[in-house]
Amino acid sequence: DALNISGDSDRARELAGEAYRRFAAHPDPATAAVIHLRAGYFRGLTAPAEGLLLVKEALRLFEQGPPSADQAEAWLHYATIFVFYAEGRQEDSRAALTRSLEIAQAAGAAALIPRILAWLAVQTGLRGQVADGFSLLRRARAAAEASGGEATLWVDGLESSVLLKTRNVQDAADVAVRGLQSARQAGRHGSIQASVLAGNAAEALLALGRTAEAAALIDPLTADPPDRDHWPVHQIRAEIDLLRGDTEAAESRQQQ
């Protein structure tokens, strides 16, 4: 988890794979479940079908014990990475998110609840219930501010994405920039959350016609080649390069 937060998901995936090789058959179901969850999460980033099998086994193992934060997180990953992104099944994803929320509430997993609520807000908006989606986002933010920590960064990232999609670009810029500042203050500037926030902030600035400000934000973050943890900033950098007339650089970065 620490490696992933620091922006080194490749090393995190290696470590999760090593843990799986050593402890997948652990006699304690809760321990085996966590091992399967981490291995499935990271394997799912490159091989969704393989990751899904491991996460489903984690869900089965978790059912043998009481509700826990790890179990709620397993349902969250299942709902978002595997059902929503990999397979596009929105209603099934919403059902899994509801299950995740029920478990998180039963387990007292306060830090996880804001993330689940924010994802439910996204799902609600995609069903055309925009006002209800923003209501869920307000609940998510209140819960995040009450629990503190990383939860606020997740809410900032998802909320700024929703604001962009509903063309509230100035609000999107404000939320994303605020979240990015918080990520830097918390030492999470290398995380995928920070990359998403920076990408959202720059996209909003571009929509407002403030290309130079977007470039000033993104250029320092894209000196290294694109990778899995920082693709959002490189994607927006390609767009900035295109707007600056450097089509060759934009095409090369987009292909990477």
Residue for token digits 């990408």? Answer: 199
pLDDT tens by residue, the chain, 256 residues: 888 888 888 899 999 999 999 999 999 999 999 999 999 999 988 888 999 999 999 999 999 999 999 999 999 999 998 888 667 788 899 999 999 999 999 999 999 999 999 999 999 988 889 999 999 999 999 999 998 777 888 899 999 999 999 999 999 999 999 999 988 888 887 788 888 999 999 999 999 999 999 999 999 999 999 888 888 899 999 999 999 999 999 999 999 9
Query: What pLDDT, on a 0 to 100 scale, did the predictor assign at position 189?
Result: 78
Instruction: State both tokens at 160.
Output: 């700024």
List phi, psi (to 5°) of 68: -150, 165
Alpha carbons 135 and 113: distance in angstroms, whole number: 15
Contact between 239 and 206 (Cβ < 8 Å): yes
Query: What pLDDT, on a 0 to 100 scale, did the predictor assign at position 183?
Result: 87
Query: What pLDDT, on a 0 to 100 scale, did the predictor assign at position 46?
Result: 83
Query: What pLDDT, on a 0 to 100 scale, did the predictor assign at position 188?
Result: 81
The count of other CB atoms within 10 Å of the CB of residue 93 is 24
DSSP strand E in 209-249: where? none
Alpha carbons 206 and 246: distance in angstroms, whole number: 16
Residue for token digits 């920039």? Answer: 177
Alpha carbons 120 and 113: distance in angstroms, whole number: 11
The count of other CB atoms within 10 Å of the CB of residue 7 is 21
Contacts for 17-20: CB closer than 8 Å, 24+ residues apart: 17/42, 17/43, 20/54
| Burial (Cβ within 10 Å: 0-12, 13-18, ≥19) of residue 1 | exposed
Alpha carbons 243 and 236: distance in angstroms, whole number: 11
Contact between 123 and 94 (Cβ < 8 Å): yes
Please report, to the nearest 10 degrees, the dihedral formed by the alpha carbons of residues 129, 177, 168, 80 taken in order: -30
